[in-house]
């Protein structure tokens, strides 16, 4: 199994010892507390689950700036994006060395973690602009990731954390949410040696399914981990429970037994394109995958990124030797009318656009909302039925 990034073993920040966790929960009740952003809460979940090994907590400003510029902390540790706890005001925790972090995504704002306060630093507009431009490759506030990042406040609270729960992910998605620790354990139990991971924030159409089969066969993998994002998306994206139902149905019907597992992780989508692709590869290595599928416009939104920027960043910007996981570079996949099967479009000579079954997302949503299944060359009928039921319930 692939070793974790920069460490011999995973370093989850969730407090697994029940007595120690209960003691910390009692301590947290008397600590100064602050409500954190959804992004910071998602970072706590990822840190707690070991996905961000070997980070010990939220970055200070100099580390965040260094990571934004060069994907290295000041002391040289590789990490693709700043992991920060940015807040509007720190008046409630002024002078405190240990604080309780309150989860904005759960009713009553319960405490999700305890943080040791190493520093509180004001982030200038110039520093926010630098991080925004380097990570997102744009400063356009119409970009959902840019807008979210710049809405969190300008006070950076840095320091290590102890995670006390996994927010709403563990309770709302008990069959799907898994930590990196749990996924590694399952991969080991299944005796998979070569494992390919597939990222999704959408239901999987036939082309996605076939892409996973292609990767497994081409890489000679023992297993596939379909790893779906369970956190906040942009308006109009399909809810996680619907995606989960659609994907599990597809796997049950169209994948051999013991060849694929469906899991999810608690994180808010950044839509940061190339940088987020590197982050996705980073934490897939930590969960035990040896390979990771990156397709056209991976983690992108709108027209902010080139079709293959999320692949070329591994050649042009990721430091040599920073990651052990290997990237399976995929083109757009679609049904070829000439060949009567799904193919990667760049591997289909003598084809024009008209030779493929291509439907825009807008057209697919229109069909589903009208109760019309997409053609069988685009979507499995069982998956289409689930999505039709969802759209007609709106």
Tens digit of pLDDT for each residue in 326-354? Answer: 999 999 899 999 999 999 998 998 999 99
Tell me which DSSP letter residue 353 carries: G
Tens digit of pLDDT for each residue in 299-323? Answer: 999 999 999 999 999 999 999 999 9
Query: How many Å separate Cα 289 from the centre of its chain?
Result: 14
In DSSP terms, which residues pair with 333 in a beta bridge? 344
Active site residue 150: no
Which pLDDT value is given to residue 19? Answer: 98
Confidence of residue 394 (pLDDT cuts 50, 70, 90): confident
Q: Are the C-beta atoms of 131 and 83 separated by less than 8 Å?
A: no
Domain ranges of the chain: 18-170, 177-393
Active site residue 165: no
**Which ranges constitute the DSSP H helices of the chain?**
18-29, 38-48, 61-70, 125-136, 144-149, 169-172, 180-189, 206-219, 240-254, 274-286, 309-316, 361-369, 381-393
The topology (CATH level 3) of 177-393 is: Rossmann fold (3.40.50)
Lowest mean pLDDT among 123-137, 178-192, 231-245, 279-293: 231-245
Catalytic residue among 72, 202, 329, 365: 202
Q: Is the peptide bond before 54 cis (omega within 30 degrees of 0)?
A: yes
CB atoms within 10 A of CB 313: 22
Catalytic residue among 201, 248, 329, 365: 201
Question: Which of these, 346, 345, 347, 333, lies nearest to 377 by C-alpha position?
Answer: 333
- pLDDT over 70, % of the chain: 100
Query: How many Å separate Cα 105 from the centre of its chain?
Result: 17
Q: What angle do CA 18, 52, 97 make, to 5 degrees?
A: 65
Separation between Cα atoms, residue 68 and residue 54, nearest integer Å? 18
The CATH code for residues 18-170 is: 3.10.400.10
Helix pair angle (61-70, 125-136), 10° resolution: 40
Task: Tell me the CA end-to-end span of the chain in Å, nearest whole number.
Answer: 43
Q: Are the C-beta atoms of 131 and 65 separated by less than 8 Å?
A: yes
- Average pLDDT value for the chain: 96
């Amino acid at each position: 199994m692939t070793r974790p990034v920069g460490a011999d073993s995973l370093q989850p920040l969730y407090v697994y010892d029940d007595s120690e966790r209960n003691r910390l929960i009692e301590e947290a009740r008397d600590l100064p507390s602050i409500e954190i952003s959804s992004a910071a809460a998602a970072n706590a979940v990822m840190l707690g689950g070991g996905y961000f090994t070997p980070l010990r907590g939220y970055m200070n400003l100099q580390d965040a700036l260094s990571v934004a510029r060069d994907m290295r902390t000041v002391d040289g540790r590789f990490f693709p994006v700043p992991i920060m706890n940015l807040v509007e005001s720190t008046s409630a925790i002024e002078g405190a060395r240990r604080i309780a972090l309150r989860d904005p995504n759960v009713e009553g704002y319960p405490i999700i973690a305890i943080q040791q306060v190493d520093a509180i630093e004001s982030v200038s507009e110039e520093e926010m602009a630098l991080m925004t431009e380097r990570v997102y490759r744009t400063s356009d506030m119409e970009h959902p990731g840019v807008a979210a990042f710049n809405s969190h406040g300008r006070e950076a609270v840095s320091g290590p954390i102890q995670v006390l729960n996994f927010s709403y992910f563990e309770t709302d998605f008990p069959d799907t949410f898994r930590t990196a620790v749990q996924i590694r354990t399952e991969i080991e139990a299944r005796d998979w040696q070569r494992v390919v991971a597939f990222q999704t924030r959408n239901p999987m159409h036939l082309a996605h399914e076939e892409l996973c089969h292609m990767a497994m066969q081409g890489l000679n993998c023992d297993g596939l981990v379909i790893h779906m994002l369970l956190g906040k998306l942009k308006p109009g994206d399909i809810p996680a429970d619907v995606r989960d139902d659609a994907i599990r149905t597809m796997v049950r019907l169209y994948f051999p037994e013991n060849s694929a597992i469906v899991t999810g992780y608690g994180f808010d989508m950044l839509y940061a394109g190339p940088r987020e692709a590197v982050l996705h590869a980073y934490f897939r290595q930590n969960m035990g995958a040896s390979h990771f599928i990156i397709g056209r416009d991976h983690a992108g939104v709108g027209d902010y990124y080139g079709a293959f920027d999320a692949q070329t960043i591994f050649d042009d910007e990721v430091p040599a030797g920073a990651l052990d996981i290997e990237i399976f570079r995929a083109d757009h996949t679609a049904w070829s009318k000439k060949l009567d099967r799904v193919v990667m479009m760049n591997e289909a000579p003598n084809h024009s656009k008209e030779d493929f079954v291509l439907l825009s997302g807008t057209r697919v949503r229109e069909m589903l909302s009208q109760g019309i299944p997409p053609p069988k060359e685009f979507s499995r009928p069982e998956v289409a039925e689930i999505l039709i039921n969802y759209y007609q319930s709106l």
